[in-house]
Structure 1
Amino acid sequence: MKAARFEYERASSLSKALEVLSNNGLDTKVMAGSQSLGPMLNLRLARPDSVIDISTLRELKKVTQEGALLKIGSGLTHAEIEDGIVDLLKGHPWQYVASSIAYRSVRNRGTIGGSIAHADPAADWVLASTAMNAEIEIASAKGMRRVPINEFMLGAYTTVLAEQEIITAIIIPAMNDQSRWGYFKFCRKIGEFADASCAAYFDPENKTANISVGALDGAPRSLSGLAKIIAKDGWYSISRDIISEHVSLNLPELDELDQKLFTTVISRCLDRAFKIERQA
Protein backbone atom coordinates (compact mmCIF):
# COMPACT_ATOMS: atom_id res chain seq x y z
CA MET A 1 0.00 0.00 0.00
CA LYS A 2 0.92 3.64 -0.32
CA ALA A 3 0.31 6.47 2.08
CA ALA A 4 -2.85 8.53 1.83
CA ARG A 5 -2.27 12.04 0.47
CA PHE A 6 -0.80 14.54 2.94
CA GLU A 7 0.93 17.92 2.90
CA TYR A 8 4.69 17.76 3.54
CA GLU A 9 6.93 20.48 4.96
CA ARG A 10 10.57 20.33 6.01
CA ALA A 11 11.19 22.53 9.03
CA SER A 12 14.00 25.09 8.82
CA SER A 13 14.20 25.42 12.59
CA LEU A 14 12.65 24.06 15.76
CA SER A 15 10.71 27.29 16.27
CA LYS A 16 9.30 26.98 12.75
CA ALA A 17 8.20 23.39 13.41
CA LEU A 18 6.51 24.42 16.65
CA GLU A 19 4.81 27.32 14.87
CA VAL A 20 3.41 24.98 12.23
CA LEU A 21 2.14 22.55 14.89
CA SER A 22 0.40 25.30 16.85
CA ASN A 23 -1.09 27.29 13.97
CA ASN A 24 -2.17 25.11 11.06
CA GLY A 25 -5.21 23.54 12.73
CA LEU A 26 -4.56 20.28 10.86
CA ASP A 27 -3.84 16.77 12.03
CA THR A 28 -0.05 17.07 11.74
CA LYS A 29 2.52 14.37 12.48
CA VAL A 30 6.15 15.08 13.32
CA MET A 31 8.66 13.08 11.26
CA ALA A 32 12.21 12.49 12.49
CA GLY A 33 13.80 9.27 11.22
CA SER A 34 10.45 7.92 10.00
CA GLN A 35 11.34 4.34 10.90
CA SER A 36 7.98 3.96 12.68
CA LEU A 37 5.85 6.67 11.10
CA GLY A 38 6.87 5.70 7.55
CA PRO A 39 5.48 2.15 7.72
CA MET A 40 2.37 3.43 9.53
CA LEU A 41 1.77 5.90 6.71
CA ASN A 42 2.24 3.24 4.03
CA LEU A 43 -0.12 0.85 5.81
CA ARG A 44 -2.54 3.75 6.32
CA LEU A 45 -2.56 3.15 10.05
CA ALA A 46 -1.75 6.86 10.24
CA ARG A 47 -3.54 9.33 7.92
CA PRO A 48 -2.44 12.81 8.91
CA ASP A 49 -3.39 15.92 6.97
CA SER A 50 0.23 17.03 7.01
CA VAL A 51 3.73 15.98 8.05
CA ILE A 52 6.43 18.29 9.39
CA ASP A 53 9.95 16.88 8.89
CA ILE A 54 12.48 17.78 11.62
CA SER A 55 15.18 15.27 10.59
CA THR A 56 17.65 17.92 9.37
CA LEU A 57 17.55 20.19 12.43
CA ARG A 58 21.11 20.48 13.76
CA GLU A 59 19.84 22.05 16.99
CA LEU A 60 18.30 18.67 17.92
CA LYS A 61 21.62 16.86 17.48
CA LYS A 62 23.59 18.61 20.22
CA VAL A 63 24.92 16.80 23.30
CA THR A 64 25.94 18.94 26.27
CA GLN A 65 26.95 18.35 29.87
CA GLU A 66 25.19 20.34 32.53
CA GLY A 67 26.91 19.59 35.82
CA ALA A 68 26.35 15.90 36.55
CA LEU A 69 23.81 15.53 33.74
CA LEU A 70 24.10 14.76 30.04
CA LYS A 71 21.60 16.40 27.70
CA ILE A 72 21.23 14.33 24.53
CA GLY A 73 19.53 15.93 21.55
CA SER A 74 16.46 14.03 20.39
CA GLY A 75 17.50 14.21 16.74
CA LEU A 76 20.62 12.06 17.16
CA THR A 77 20.30 8.86 15.18
CA HIS A 78 21.01 5.45 16.68
CA ALA A 79 24.02 5.17 14.35
CA GLU A 80 25.45 8.51 15.47
CA ILE A 81 25.29 7.35 19.08
CA GLU A 82 26.66 3.92 18.14
CA ASP A 83 29.61 5.43 16.27
CA GLY A 84 30.49 7.83 19.09
CA ILE A 85 30.67 10.82 16.75
CA VAL A 86 29.85 13.10 19.72
CA ASP A 87 32.74 13.30 22.19
CA LEU A 88 30.51 13.21 25.28
CA LEU A 89 29.02 9.89 24.16
CA LYS A 90 32.30 8.31 23.05
CA GLY A 91 32.85 5.27 25.26
CA HIS A 92 29.42 5.71 26.85
CA PRO A 93 27.52 2.45 27.52
CA TRP A 94 24.62 3.73 25.43
CA GLN A 95 26.81 3.12 22.40
CA TYR A 96 26.17 -0.60 22.96
CA VAL A 97 22.42 -0.02 23.36
CA ALA A 98 22.37 1.86 20.05
CA SER A 99 24.38 -0.84 18.26
CA SER A 100 21.84 -3.51 19.19
CA ILE A 101 18.84 -1.71 17.68
CA ALA A 102 17.38 -3.43 14.60
CA TYR A 103 19.66 -3.22 11.53
CA ARG A 104 22.25 -0.66 10.46
CA SER A 105 19.91 0.73 7.80
CA VAL A 106 17.35 1.44 10.51
CA ARG A 107 19.98 2.88 12.84
CA ASN A 108 21.15 5.25 10.11
CA ARG A 109 17.73 6.94 10.07
CA GLY A 110 15.98 6.25 13.38
CA THR A 111 16.37 8.81 16.17
CA ILE A 112 16.43 8.48 19.94
CA GLY A 113 13.66 11.06 20.32
CA GLY A 114 11.47 9.44 17.70
CA SER A 115 11.84 6.06 19.37
CA ILE A 116 10.83 7.41 22.77
CA ALA A 117 7.90 9.36 21.29
CA HIS A 118 6.65 6.21 19.53
CA ALA A 119 6.72 4.39 22.90
CA ASP A 120 6.89 0.81 21.67
CA PRO A 121 7.01 -1.42 24.78
CA ALA A 122 9.94 -3.36 23.27
CA ALA A 123 11.91 -0.22 22.34
CA ASP A 124 15.50 -0.03 23.57
CA TRP A 125 15.62 3.68 24.39
CA VAL A 126 12.44 3.66 26.47
CA LEU A 127 13.93 0.93 28.66
CA ALA A 128 17.45 2.40 28.84
CA SER A 129 16.02 5.82 29.74
CA THR A 130 13.83 4.34 32.47
CA ALA A 131 16.78 2.57 34.09
CA MET A 132 18.71 5.85 34.21
CA ASN A 133 15.83 7.93 35.62
CA ALA A 134 15.91 10.10 32.51
CA GLU A 135 13.93 13.26 32.05
CA ILE A 136 12.34 14.04 28.70
CA GLU A 137 12.60 17.64 27.57
CA ILE A 138 9.56 18.70 25.56
CA ALA A 139 9.00 21.90 23.60
CA SER A 140 5.86 23.62 22.36
CA ALA A 141 5.10 27.12 21.14
CA LYS A 142 4.22 27.95 24.77
CA GLY A 143 7.62 26.95 26.15
CA MET A 144 9.60 24.01 27.53
CA ARG A 145 8.83 21.38 30.12
CA ARG A 146 10.58 18.32 31.50
CA VAL A 147 8.82 15.06 32.31
CA PRO A 148 10.37 12.14 34.23
CA ILE A 149 10.50 9.09 31.98
CA ASN A 150 8.42 7.02 34.41
CA GLU A 151 5.61 9.58 33.96
CA PHE A 152 6.09 10.02 30.22
CA MET A 153 4.97 6.64 28.87
CA LEU A 154 1.39 5.88 29.91
CA GLY A 155 1.07 2.58 28.06
CA ALA A 156 1.86 0.89 24.77
CA TYR A 157 2.28 3.62 22.13
CA THR A 158 0.74 6.13 24.53
CA THR A 159 2.55 9.08 26.12
CA VAL A 160 1.87 12.47 27.71
CA LEU A 161 3.15 14.16 24.54
CA ALA A 162 0.54 16.59 23.18
CA GLU A 163 -0.08 17.06 19.45
CA GLN A 164 1.63 20.47 19.47
CA GLU A 165 4.77 19.24 21.27
CA ILE A 166 8.16 17.88 20.17
CA ILE A 167 10.73 15.99 22.24
CA THR A 168 13.93 18.03 22.14
CA ALA A 169 16.29 16.18 24.49
CA ILE A 170 16.78 13.28 26.87
CA ILE A 171 18.55 14.17 30.12
CA ILE A 172 20.44 11.42 31.96
CA PRO A 173 23.10 11.25 34.71
CA ALA A 174 26.68 11.41 33.50
CA MET A 175 28.64 8.22 34.15
CA ASN A 176 31.38 8.25 36.77
CA ASP A 177 33.99 5.79 38.06
CA GLN A 178 31.50 4.16 40.41
CA SER A 179 28.68 3.80 37.89
CA ARG A 180 27.62 0.32 36.78
CA TRP A 181 25.52 -0.22 33.67
CA GLY A 182 24.17 -3.38 32.10
CA TYR A 183 21.87 -4.12 29.19
CA PHE A 184 20.65 -7.40 27.78
CA LYS A 185 17.76 -8.44 25.58
CA PHE A 186 16.58 -11.68 24.05
CA CYS A 187 15.56 -11.64 20.39
CA ARG A 188 14.75 -14.70 18.30
CA LYS A 189 17.08 -13.33 15.65
CA ILE A 190 19.21 -10.22 15.22
CA GLY A 191 17.14 -7.19 14.28
CA GLU A 192 13.81 -8.39 15.66
CA PHE A 193 11.98 -6.80 18.56
CA ALA A 194 12.94 -8.18 21.94
CA ASP A 195 10.87 -10.87 23.67
CA ALA A 196 12.43 -9.83 26.99
CA SER A 197 14.87 -7.09 27.93
CA CYS A 198 16.54 -5.62 30.99
CA ALA A 199 18.58 -2.53 31.80
CA ALA A 200 20.38 -1.96 35.11
CA TYR A 201 22.02 1.19 36.44
CA PHE A 202 23.81 1.49 39.77
CA ASP A 203 25.55 4.63 40.99
CA PRO A 204 26.59 4.69 44.67
CA GLU A 205 27.70 8.31 44.30
CA ASN A 206 24.13 9.36 43.47
CA LYS A 207 22.55 6.64 45.62
CA THR A 208 20.83 5.17 42.59
CA ALA A 209 19.98 1.49 42.08
CA ASN A 210 17.64 0.58 39.23
CA ILE A 211 16.72 -2.62 37.44
CA SER A 212 14.10 -2.17 34.73
CA VAL A 213 12.57 -4.77 32.43
CA GLY A 214 10.95 -4.16 29.06
CA ALA A 215 9.16 -5.88 26.18
CA LEU A 216 6.03 -6.15 28.32
CA ASP A 217 2.47 -5.07 27.51
CA GLY A 218 3.13 -1.46 28.49
CA ALA A 219 5.79 0.74 30.04
CA PRO A 220 8.95 -0.81 31.53
CA ARG A 221 8.61 -2.21 35.02
CA SER A 222 11.16 -1.70 37.81
CA LEU A 223 12.41 -4.39 40.19
CA SER A 224 13.25 -1.94 42.97
CA GLY A 225 13.38 -4.56 45.72
CA LEU A 226 16.02 -6.61 43.91
CA ALA A 227 18.00 -3.47 43.04
CA LYS A 228 18.10 -2.40 46.70
CA ILE A 229 19.38 -5.80 47.81
CA ILE A 230 22.18 -5.71 45.23
CA ALA A 231 23.10 -2.13 46.13
CA LYS A 232 23.36 -3.14 49.79
CA ASP A 233 24.87 -6.65 49.63
CA GLY A 234 26.46 -6.80 46.18
CA TRP A 235 25.78 -8.85 43.07
CA TYR A 236 27.65 -11.84 44.48
CA SER A 237 25.00 -12.27 47.17
CA ILE A 238 22.20 -12.84 44.65
CA SER A 239 21.27 -16.30 43.42
CA ARG A 240 19.13 -17.17 40.42
CA ASP A 241 16.38 -18.28 42.82
CA ILE A 242 16.28 -14.81 44.37
CA ILE A 243 15.97 -13.21 40.91
CA SER A 244 13.20 -15.68 40.07
CA GLU A 245 11.32 -14.74 43.24
CA HIS A 246 11.43 -11.05 42.34
CA VAL A 247 10.31 -11.77 38.78
CA SER A 248 7.32 -13.73 40.11
CA LEU A 249 6.51 -10.91 42.53
CA ASN A 250 6.78 -8.08 39.99
CA LEU A 251 5.57 -9.87 36.85
CA PRO A 252 2.88 -12.26 38.11
CA GLU A 253 0.96 -12.10 34.83
CA LEU A 254 3.73 -13.93 32.96
CA ASP A 255 3.52 -17.67 32.43
CA GLU A 256 6.21 -19.99 33.77
CA LEU A 257 8.24 -20.00 30.54
CA ASP A 258 8.32 -16.20 30.27
CA GLN A 259 9.24 -15.86 33.94
CA LYS A 260 12.23 -18.12 33.33
CA LEU A 261 13.15 -16.07 30.26
CA PHE A 262 13.07 -12.80 32.19
CA THR A 263 15.03 -14.37 35.05
CA THR A 264 17.78 -15.28 32.59
CA VAL A 265 17.73 -11.87 30.88
CA ILE A 266 17.99 -10.06 34.22
CA SER A 267 20.84 -12.31 35.37
CA ARG A 268 22.83 -11.68 32.17
CA CYS A 269 22.15 -7.95 32.34
CA LEU A 270 23.51 -7.81 35.89
CA ASP A 271 26.54 -9.88 34.90
CA ARG A 272 27.33 -7.19 32.34
CA ALA A 273 26.76 -4.40 34.84
CA PHE A 274 29.22 -5.86 37.33
CA LYS A 275 31.69 -7.53 34.95
CA ILE A 276 34.54 -5.25 36.04
CA GLU A 277 34.16 -6.35 39.64
CA ARG A 278 33.87 -9.99 38.67
CA GLN A 279 37.10 -9.86 36.68
CA ALA A 280 39.05 -8.19 39.48
Structure 2
Amino acid sequence: MSDFEHVFDTPPPGAAADWTIDQNWDAYTQVEHDTWDTLYARQMAILPGRASDAFLNGLNALDLNTGGIPDFAVMNPKLKALTGWTVHCVPGLVPDDVFFDHLANRRFVSGQFIRKPDQLDYIQEPDIFHDVFGHVPMLTDPDFADYMQAYGKGGQRAASLGLLPQLARLYWYTVEFGLAQSPQGLRIYGAGIVSSATESVFALDDPSPNRIGFDMERVMRTLYRIDDFQQVYFVIDSIEQLKWDTLQDFGPIYDRLRGSEDLPVDVVLPQDRVLTHGTQTYAARGGRFAA
Protein backbone atom coordinates (compact mmCIF):
# COMPACT_ATOMS: atom_id res chain seq x y z
CA MET A 1 0.00 0.00 0.00
CA SER A 2 1.58 3.25 -1.08
CA ASP A 3 1.09 6.86 -2.12
CA PHE A 4 3.20 6.23 -5.22
CA GLU A 5 1.45 6.05 -8.56
CA HIS A 6 0.49 2.54 -9.57
CA VAL A 7 2.47 1.35 -12.55
CA PHE A 8 -0.49 -0.53 -14.06
CA ASP A 9 -4.27 -0.45 -13.80
CA THR A 10 -4.73 -4.07 -14.91
CA PRO A 11 -2.34 -7.02 -14.81
CA PRO A 12 0.17 -6.52 -17.64
CA PRO A 13 1.03 -9.23 -20.15
CA GLY A 14 2.77 -12.13 -18.44
CA ALA A 15 1.19 -11.51 -15.04
CA ALA A 16 -1.38 -13.81 -13.48
CA ALA A 17 -4.87 -12.64 -12.56
CA ASP A 18 -3.61 -11.93 -9.04
CA TRP A 19 -0.81 -9.77 -10.53
CA THR A 20 2.00 -12.17 -9.61
CA ILE A 21 4.86 -12.96 -11.98
CA ASP A 22 7.75 -15.41 -11.92
CA GLN A 23 10.81 -14.17 -10.11
CA ASN A 24 12.94 -15.46 -13.01
CA TRP A 25 15.91 -15.69 -10.65
CA ASP A 26 18.25 -17.08 -13.32
CA ALA A 27 17.94 -13.83 -15.29
CA TYR A 28 19.58 -11.65 -12.62
CA THR A 29 23.01 -10.39 -13.68
CA GLN A 30 26.17 -10.53 -11.62
CA VAL A 31 25.98 -6.76 -11.20
CA GLU A 32 22.50 -7.14 -9.70
CA HIS A 33 23.66 -9.88 -7.33
CA ASP A 34 26.66 -7.74 -6.36
CA THR A 35 24.32 -4.82 -5.62
CA TRP A 36 22.35 -7.01 -3.20
CA ASP A 37 25.58 -8.11 -1.51
CA THR A 38 26.79 -4.51 -1.19
CA LEU A 39 23.52 -3.36 0.33
CA TYR A 40 23.35 -6.37 2.65
CA ALA A 41 26.91 -5.89 3.93
CA ARG A 42 26.35 -2.19 4.49
CA GLN A 43 23.20 -2.75 6.53
CA MET A 44 24.72 -5.52 8.60
CA ALA A 45 27.57 -3.22 9.58
CA ILE A 46 24.93 -0.92 11.11
CA LEU A 47 21.99 -2.99 12.36
CA PRO A 48 23.39 -5.17 15.18
CA GLY A 49 22.46 -3.31 18.36
CA ARG A 50 19.91 -1.24 16.41
CA ALA A 51 17.49 -3.70 14.79
CA SER A 52 15.01 -5.70 16.82
CA ASP A 53 15.78 -9.28 17.78
CA ALA A 54 12.76 -10.37 15.71
CA PHE A 55 14.28 -8.86 12.58
CA LEU A 56 17.79 -10.21 13.17
CA ASN A 57 16.46 -13.65 14.05
CA GLY A 58 14.43 -13.61 10.85
CA LEU A 59 17.49 -12.85 8.76
CA ASN A 60 19.23 -15.85 10.26
CA ALA A 61 16.21 -18.13 9.90
CA LEU A 62 15.89 -17.37 6.19
CA ASP A 63 19.65 -17.33 5.52
CA LEU A 64 19.47 -14.27 3.27
CA ASN A 65 23.24 -13.87 3.11
CA THR A 66 24.03 -16.81 0.85
CA GLY A 67 25.37 -14.55 -1.89
CA GLY A 68 23.28 -12.46 -4.22
CA ILE A 69 19.56 -11.92 -4.55
CA PRO A 70 17.60 -14.64 -2.71
CA ASP A 71 15.86 -17.25 -4.80
CA PHE A 72 12.22 -17.35 -3.71
CA ALA A 73 12.06 -21.05 -4.58
CA VAL A 74 14.62 -21.62 -1.81
CA MET A 75 13.40 -18.96 0.64
CA ASN A 76 9.65 -19.60 0.55
CA PRO A 77 9.66 -23.14 1.97
CA LYS A 78 11.62 -21.89 5.01
CA LEU A 79 9.25 -18.97 5.55
CA LYS A 80 6.10 -21.04 5.03
CA ALA A 81 7.28 -23.64 7.54
CA LEU A 82 7.69 -20.92 10.17
CA THR A 83 4.52 -18.83 9.79
CA GLY A 84 2.62 -19.92 6.68
CA TRP A 85 3.68 -16.89 4.64
CA THR A 86 5.17 -16.89 1.12
CA VAL A 87 6.64 -14.12 -1.04
CA HIS A 88 5.66 -13.49 -4.66
CA CYS A 89 6.94 -11.07 -7.28
CA VAL A 90 4.70 -8.49 -8.92
CA PRO A 91 5.53 -6.27 -11.91
CA GLY A 92 5.09 -2.99 -10.05
CA LEU A 93 2.96 -1.35 -7.40
CA VAL A 94 -0.42 -3.05 -7.36
CA PRO A 95 -3.94 -1.76 -6.60
CA ASP A 96 -4.91 -1.63 -2.96
CA ASP A 97 -7.51 -4.39 -3.21
CA VAL A 98 -4.93 -6.75 -4.72
CA PHE A 99 -2.41 -5.85 -2.02
CA PHE A 100 -4.90 -6.45 0.79
CA ASP A 101 -6.07 -9.75 -0.67
CA HIS A 102 -2.50 -11.07 -0.76
CA LEU A 103 -1.84 -10.01 2.84
CA ALA A 104 -5.13 -11.48 4.04
CA ASN A 105 -4.00 -14.82 2.57
CA ARG A 106 -0.45 -14.65 3.97
CA ARG A 107 1.19 -13.72 0.69
CA PHE A 108 3.65 -10.85 0.63
CA VAL A 109 4.23 -9.16 -2.73
CA SER A 110 7.70 -7.97 -3.73
CA GLY A 111 9.24 -6.03 -6.55
CA GLN A 112 11.28 -8.16 -8.91
CA PHE A 113 13.94 -5.58 -9.82
CA ILE A 114 16.86 -4.28 -7.78
CA ARG A 115 18.12 -0.71 -7.77
CA LYS A 116 21.10 0.38 -9.87
CA PRO A 117 24.56 0.64 -8.29
CA ASP A 118 24.29 4.44 -8.38
CA GLN A 119 20.97 4.33 -6.45
CA LEU A 120 22.21 2.68 -3.26
CA ASP A 121 21.12 5.51 -0.98
CA TYR A 122 17.66 6.30 -2.31
CA ILE A 123 15.06 4.86 -4.66
CA GLN A 124 11.46 6.00 -4.83
CA GLU A 125 9.71 2.78 -5.80
CA PRO A 126 10.41 -0.19 -3.50
CA ASP A 127 12.78 -2.75 -5.01
CA ILE A 128 13.53 -6.35 -4.06
CA PHE A 129 16.09 -5.29 -1.45
CA HIS A 130 13.60 -3.11 0.38
CA ASP A 131 10.86 -5.70 0.08
CA VAL A 132 12.81 -8.85 0.93
CA PHE A 133 15.61 -7.65 3.22
CA GLY A 134 13.40 -5.00 4.83
CA HIS A 135 10.06 -6.77 5.17
CA VAL A 136 10.40 -10.53 4.97
CA PRO A 137 12.52 -11.25 8.10
CA MET A 138 9.75 -9.84 10.29
CA LEU A 139 7.30 -12.29 8.71
CA THR A 140 9.15 -15.11 10.50
CA ASP A 141 7.84 -13.75 13.82
CA PRO A 142 4.47 -15.38 14.64
CA ASP A 143 2.95 -12.26 16.20
CA PHE A 144 4.06 -9.99 13.38
CA ALA A 145 2.88 -12.54 10.82
CA ASP A 146 -0.57 -12.47 12.44
CA TYR A 147 -0.52 -8.67 12.50
CA MET A 148 0.17 -8.46 8.78
CA GLN A 149 -2.64 -10.85 7.96
CA ALA A 150 -5.02 -8.89 10.19
CA TYR A 151 -3.94 -5.71 8.46
CA GLY A 152 -4.81 -7.22 5.08
CA LYS A 153 -8.27 -8.19 6.28
CA GLY A 154 -8.72 -4.76 7.86
CA GLY A 155 -7.74 -3.09 4.62
CA GLN A 156 -10.57 -4.77 2.80
CA ARG A 157 -13.01 -3.32 5.33
CA ALA A 158 -11.41 0.16 5.36
CA ALA A 159 -11.67 0.33 1.58
CA SER A 160 -15.41 -0.28 1.76
CA LEU A 161 -15.75 2.54 4.33
CA GLY A 162 -13.61 5.11 2.52
CA LEU A 163 -10.98 5.13 5.26
CA LEU A 164 -7.91 3.86 3.42
CA PRO A 165 -5.82 7.01 4.09
CA GLN A 166 -6.17 6.47 7.83
CA LEU A 167 -5.31 2.78 7.61
CA ALA A 168 -2.33 3.57 5.36
CA ARG A 169 -0.88 5.63 8.21
CA LEU A 170 -0.97 2.59 10.47
CA TYR A 171 1.04 0.60 7.91
CA TRP A 172 3.45 3.48 7.42
CA TYR A 173 4.21 4.05 11.08
CA THR A 174 4.52 0.35 11.96
CA VAL A 175 5.44 -1.92 9.05
CA GLU A 176 7.56 0.71 7.30
CA PHE A 177 8.85 3.03 10.03
CA GLY A 178 8.15 1.39 13.37
CA LEU A 179 10.34 1.40 16.47
CA ALA A 180 9.96 -1.00 19.40
CA GLN A 181 10.93 -1.02 23.05
CA SER A 182 13.39 -3.66 24.22
CA PRO A 183 15.25 -4.28 27.50
CA GLN A 184 18.31 -2.78 25.81
CA GLY A 185 16.52 0.35 24.55
CA LEU A 186 14.75 1.34 21.36
CA ARG A 187 15.10 -0.98 18.39
CA ILE A 188 14.10 -0.79 14.72
CA TYR A 189 11.63 -3.16 13.10
CA GLY A 190 10.19 -1.07 10.23
CA ALA A 191 11.32 -2.05 6.74
CA GLY A 192 11.83 1.50 5.55
CA ILE A 193 14.38 2.01 8.31
CA VAL A 194 16.22 -1.33 8.36
CA SER A 195 16.78 -1.16 4.59
CA SER A 196 18.23 2.38 4.75
CA ALA A 197 21.79 3.02 5.91
CA THR A 198 21.10 6.64 6.80
CA GLU A 199 17.71 6.27 8.45
CA SER A 200 18.92 3.31 10.53
CA VAL A 201 21.09 5.84 12.34
CA PHE A 202 18.75 8.84 12.20
CA ALA A 203 15.73 7.00 13.62
CA LEU A 204 17.49 6.07 16.85
CA ASP A 205 20.24 8.65 17.35
CA ASP A 206 19.22 11.99 15.90
CA PRO A 207 17.65 14.53 18.30
CA SER A 208 15.41 15.92 15.55
CA PRO A 209 12.37 13.58 15.38
CA ASN A 210 9.70 13.06 17.98
CA ARG A 211 9.48 9.53 19.37
CA ILE A 212 6.05 8.85 20.81
CA GLY A 213 4.47 5.82 22.43
CA PHE A 214 2.20 3.91 20.06
CA ASP A 215 -1.52 4.65 20.18
CA MET A 216 -3.67 3.26 17.38
CA GLU A 217 -6.00 6.21 16.97
CA ARG A 218 -3.20 8.76 17.28
CA VAL A 219 -1.23 7.00 14.57
CA MET A 220 -4.21 6.84 12.22
CA ARG A 221 -4.73 10.59 12.51
CA THR A 222 -1.09 11.51 11.84
CA LEU A 223 0.09 12.58 8.40
CA TYR A 224 3.41 11.31 7.05
CA ARG A 225 5.93 12.14 4.39
CA ILE A 226 7.15 9.72 1.77
CA ASP A 227 10.26 11.50 0.49
CA ASP A 228 12.48 12.00 3.52
CA PHE A 229 13.31 10.97 7.06
CA GLN A 230 10.32 10.87 9.37
CA GLN A 231 9.57 13.71 11.75
CA VAL A 232 7.88 11.34 14.20
CA TYR A 233 8.36 7.68 15.04
CA PHE A 234 5.82 5.70 17.03
CA VAL A 235 7.19 3.17 19.51
CA ILE A 236 5.41 -0.08 20.30
CA ASP A 237 5.91 -1.85 23.63
CA SER A 238 6.02 -5.24 21.89
CA ILE A 239 5.04 -6.95 18.66
CA GLU A 240 2.44 -8.92 20.60
CA GLN A 241 0.86 -5.63 21.72
CA LEU A 242 0.75 -4.47 18.11
CA LYS A 243 -1.01 -7.67 17.07
CA TRP A 244 -3.68 -7.51 19.75
CA ASP A 245 -4.33 -3.81 19.12
CA THR A 246 -4.98 -4.65 15.48
CA LEU A 247 -7.32 -7.56 16.24
CA GLN A 248 -9.77 -5.25 18.04
CA ASP A 249 -12.92 -3.97 16.32
CA PHE A 250 -11.93 -0.81 14.45
CA GLY A 251 -15.56 0.32 14.15
CA PRO A 252 -15.52 2.73 17.13
CA ILE A 253 -12.12 4.08 16.04
CA TYR A 254 -13.40 4.69 12.53
CA ASP A 255 -16.45 6.50 13.93
CA ARG A 256 -14.20 8.86 15.88
CA LEU A 257 -11.80 9.36 12.98
CA ARG A 258 -14.60 10.64 10.78
CA GLY A 259 -15.00 13.58 13.15
CA SER A 260 -11.29 14.22 13.76
CA GLU A 261 -8.84 16.46 11.97
CA ASP A 262 -5.58 15.10 10.60
CA LEU A 263 -2.52 15.81 12.72
CA PRO A 264 0.67 17.44 11.37
CA VAL A 265 3.77 15.26 11.35
CA ASP A 266 5.58 17.36 13.98
CA VAL A 267 2.83 17.93 16.54
CA VAL A 268 3.09 16.71 20.13
CA LEU A 269 -0.20 16.38 21.98
CA PRO A 270 -0.65 16.81 25.75
CA GLN A 271 -1.82 13.21 26.06
CA ASP A 272 1.12 11.74 24.10
CA ARG A 273 3.54 9.42 25.86
CA VAL A 274 6.66 11.25 24.74
CA LEU A 275 9.96 9.37 24.69
CA THR A 276 11.82 12.07 22.78
CA HIS A 277 10.53 15.58 22.20
CA GLY A 278 12.43 16.26 19.00
CA THR A 279 14.08 19.49 17.99
CA GLN A 280 12.79 19.17 14.37
CA THR A 281 16.11 20.68 13.31
CA TYR A 282 16.57 18.33 10.40
CA ALA A 283 13.23 19.24 8.83
CA ALA A 284 13.80 22.95 9.50
CA ARG A 285 17.03 22.75 7.50
CA GLY A 286 15.18 21.43 4.49
CA GLY A 287 15.63 17.69 4.90
CA ARG A 288 17.00 15.29 2.25
CA PHE A 289 20.12 14.64 4.31
CA ALA A 290 20.55 18.31 5.22
CA ALA A 291 23.81 19.22 6.87
Q: Same fold (TM over 0.5)?
A: no
Higher strand share: 1
Larger RCO: Structure 1 or Structure 2 (Cα < 8 Å, ≥ 6 residues apart)?
Answer: 2
TM-score w.r.t. the length of structure 1 is 0.32
